[in-house]
Structure 1
Amino acid sequence: MTNKNHLSEAFKQTKHQIVGHGRRDIQTLKEALKDIDGQQESDMYGTGKIIDDFQTKMARFLGKEAAVFFPSGTMAQQIALRIWCDRKGLKKVAYHPLCHLEIHEEDGLKELHHIEPILLADKNRVIQLEDVVGMKEEVSCLLLELPQREIGGQLPDYKTLVSISTYCREKGIKLHLDGARLFEVLPYYQKTAAEICELFDSVYVSFYKGIGGLAGAILAGDESFTNESKVWKRRHGGDLISLYPYIISADYYFEQRLHKMNQYYQESIELASLFNQCHSVSTIPSEPVSNMFHVHFDGSKEKVEAILIDIYQKTGIGLTGNLREVNKKESYYEVSIGDRYADVPKEELKKVFDVLDKSMRAIS
């Protein structure tokens, strides 16, 4: 058995886990369906009351004319960029070097749509106005991810968003929002979703991350854009005969958790502070700007895994089941705060960080 499996198994056996909403099991769907009339008619091939009502609800929430439910964000975002490229007659888009489309989708944008990405900014920081102004090539669309997951969930400030939006509109560049975690950043910006989305021509949001639904995404924009996206959705095979398990769970957990986003945000700040008090441990960002951040250890993956397993066995509290190697002397993992953090007794949590601090000092 590998060390990774040892860590994962030890994490699963703890009494408390501090990240996420809970296990992704069948109960997630059963909970969402418990009050639904079993005789209610399902959606069929992208039409019907269930899907229509949810799309209308999300369009209003995001401040857009219309919205379309997709089975995946990967499908939704590739389609959004394809539409903007076709309309301008230029198959070039710009985004961050660690954008999801660039590193997690097996070159789907390039292979399926023959769209060339222009990578902006250093990979360790967010895109700024000067990066956009300084582009050497013309593009049809610029994608911004809020927050930028792969660098700890960092965010540009609101003034920067406004300046980038203004510049893109002046230059005829469409601005697309990868808002997979849009709900989670609203407390930091102190803005409504509609106020943020007003800056963008098209918007994607996810329903299985901070919201904790089964799967699925919304793509929103003006009616001509969303109508065109429905055609591409059919072409991609996204019109399953019924999507209601995803839609119902998305709607249910949206109502259950949207109002908790500020709680998760404040708890992430609290947790990051505890990590930053430990020897040879730091977080990126040092103070989180959403419910997520990265924890970095000045220690090899092998040594830190052994420390974490020891902590789990001594305290019954799990921090993560997945540690990643940066190099031979450094490792890290990603934190995403949800419902479970509030259930961890604070005195017990303090013991975790006492042990972590002592253990990190011992290997330094």
Structure 2
Amino acid sequence: MPDHLTRFRGLTAACDATVFWHPVETPGAALRRLADLADELDVSWDQYGARGPVAMLEEQLEALFGKPAAFFPSGVMAQQSALRVWCDRSGTSRVAMPDLSHLLVHEQDGPRRLHGFQVEHLTTGAEVATAEALHGVVGRLGAALVELPLRDAGCLLPTWQELTDLSAAARHRGVPLHVDGARIWESQPFWGTSLAEIAALSDSMYVSFYKGLRGIAGAALIGSEDFLAEARVWRTRMGGTLYRSTPEALAALLGLRELLPRMGECLAWARTLAAELPALGIIANPAQPHTPTFLLHADGTDDAVNERLLGVMERERLRMTGLWRASREPGRVMTEVAVSTPALDHEPQRIAQLLAEVAVG
């Protein structure tokens, strides 16, 4: 019998619709959408990260965030470049960040091996960063990184007051505050503030284009002109000044146009769904999601739950969650869901019932 992952991939390709994440699309269909946009905008090719749609994208980001922007081929490169600039300026390689930060969990020790960063934990576990947390990291720091939202903790966000106080504490101490904003688009509705107001609290910010905005790849750094000039040097040193990035920039422009305005709707749908789940034996984390991406927990084993998931997908021809996995609590399973525009075509109450069929049986 095929393993769960193989069967899941086959069923995903055969489904007629999806609930979570973005619609399944062939490369040809995706590239045709971008070709149509290129014709509409009458763009030329970019060259080495300048001109063409890359320049258009950077201009749109500056309008949204109130600060200049620089395109990067990946978020890993963007964030390491940002921290390297701040540490070089300050003369210390000590950086404070959450122990659940992407840089520590998903980058194969790259920040330390490539740049020699000495990491101090700003927070530990499912805890949002606050001014008090920064005060607890004693000694000289090259930078402090806050992940908004803290993805591996269920996409947790601080309150606006907590974020404002953290920014003030960093500035009072003279520590540059860098924001890992891979999902900042999805986070903005939680605070009800503008992207420019969020960016004003940081010294630099990274944003991603392939998550909530359905891009192909790519990222950007937001910050002052002098900061970006140094970051671009590190982009070149790390091999990130690609000859062409036109498809990635076009996809980001399309996401900003079509998906960014609907983030608030996605969060409202996610919260309606989450409110239905406890009575059905499923716990959402956070109980009221901070962003459209959050975690689900239930009693059971991953083998049993995934068998039911595959059965529901086959019957309904509907792409549901990803595969469930065992949680740290014995006898419990978990999965992450990311609400995007396809979910808005479904009643959250019906999806809650299907989730209960999968998770509880």
**TM-score, normalising length: structure 1:** 0.92
Partner of 1:330: 332
1:175-254 residue pairs with structure 2 within 5 A?
Answer: 175-254=177-256
Partner of 1:6: 7
Check if 1:61 corresponds to 2:64.
yes
CA distance in 2, matches of 1:340, 1:40: 29
* 1:297-351 Cα distance to aligned partner (Å, 9 max, x none): 2111112112222333444433223222214512111111112112235675365
Check if 1:29 corresponds to 2:15.
no
Partner of 2:123: 121
Amino acid at match of 1:235: R
Partner residue of 1:149 out of 151, 159, 165:
151
CA distance in 2, matches of 1:128, 1:83: 23
* Cα displacement (A) at 1:15: 3.3
Structure 2, unpaired ranges of 5+: none
Check the 8 A contact 1:28/1:213 in 2, yes or no.
no
Check the 8 A contact 1:177/1:203 in 2, yes or no.
yes
**TM-score, normalising length: structure 2:** 0.93
Amino acid at match of 1:339: T
Deviates more, 1:340-349 or 1:69-78: 340-349
* 1:247-276 Cα distance to aligned partner (Å, 9 max, x none): 111111211111101011111111212322
Partner of 1:50: 53
Check the 8 A contact 1:95/1:144 in 2, yes or no.
yes
| Structure 2 CA distance for partners of 1:156 and 1:222, relative to 1, 3 Å | same
Check the 8 A contact 2:210/2:218 in 1, yes or no.
yes
* Cα displacement (A) at 1:140: 1.1
Q: How many residues align?
A: 357
Check if 1:90 corresponds to 2:92.
yes
Partner of 2:76: 74
| Structure 2 CA distance for partners of 1:274 and 1:308, relative to 1, 3 Å | farther
Check the 8 A contact 1:177/1:204 in 2, yes or no.
yes
CA distance in 2, matches of 1:206, 1:127: 21
SS at match of 2:30: helix
SS at match of 1:214: coil
Structure 1, unpaired ranges of 5+: 360-364
CA distance in 1, matches of 2:125, 2:51: 43
Check the 8 A contact 2:306/2:358 in 1, yes or no.
no
Partner of 2:138: 136
1:304-319 residue pairs with structure 2 within 5 A?
Answer: 304-319=305-320
SS at match of 1:36: helix
Check the 8 A contact 2:45/2:51 in 1, yes or no.
yes
Partner of 2:304: 303
Check the 8 A contact 2:207/2:221 in 1, yes or no.
yes
| Structure 2 CA distance for partners of 1:182 and 1:358, relative to 1, 3 Å | closer
| Structure 2 CA distance for partners of 1:358 and 1:116, relative to 1, 3 Å | closer
CA distance in 1, matches of 2:312, 2:3: 19
Check the 8 A contact 2:57/2:249 in 1, yes or no.
yes
Partner of 1:158: 160
Check the 8 A contact 1:143/1:175 in 2, yes or no.
yes
1:246-285 residue pairs with structure 2 within 5 A?
Answer: 246-279=248-281, 281-285=282-286
Percentage of pairs with the same residue = 31
CA distance in 2, matches of 1:71, 1:170: 33
Deviates more, 1:30-39 or 1:44-53: 30-39
CA distance in 2, matches of 1:107, 1:173: 23
Check the 8 A contact 2:100/2:124 in 1, yes or no.
no
* Cα displacement (A) at 1:358: 5.8
SS at match of 1:277: helix
Check the 8 A contact 1:278/1:356 in 2, yes or no.
no
